[in-house]
Amino acid sequence: MKTNRILYWVATALLCALFFAGAMMYILNYPRAEGFFISLGFPVWIIYPLAALKIAGAITILTKWSMFLKELAYAGFFFDAVLALVAHAMVRDGEYMFAIIALFLTGISWIYDRKVYGTYTQGI
């Protein structure tokens, strides 16, 4: 049980740090983020809302305030990482490593959250 808890907290801390750092890059280095979004074919108006959601998702996962919002944050992180991976693969810029790491950490954190805290959803 202690190993599961350690794996959960390491994966969760790294996951939240990764998404928080990405959000800070969007906010503090907007021209660089704008260049990434333009090269990937995404609209630039989404940068600030995406940064806010990344911060809110990290806080939600760490605080465990609402199980519904926590699941929503995990889903958001998963879809954000999948879409980033596909976008980078489509333009072949080689910048997909963070998306792979985010997918891995999201999966580990989500699985071990269920093992440690017993938050299985049965009957779905």
Q: For 18-58, how does the pLDDT look when each residue is reduced to its tens digit (9 = 90+)?
A: 999 999 999 999 999 999 899 888 899 999 999 999 999 99
* CA 21 remoteness from chain centre: 10
Segments in the chain forming alpha helices (H):
2-28, 30-40, 47-63, 67-91, 97-117
67 pLDDT above the threshold of 60: yes
Look up residue 94 and give its DSSP letter.
S
Name the residue with tokens 């983020």: 33
What is the residue-averaged pLDDT of the chain?
A: 90
Separation CA 77–CA 96 (nearest Å): 15
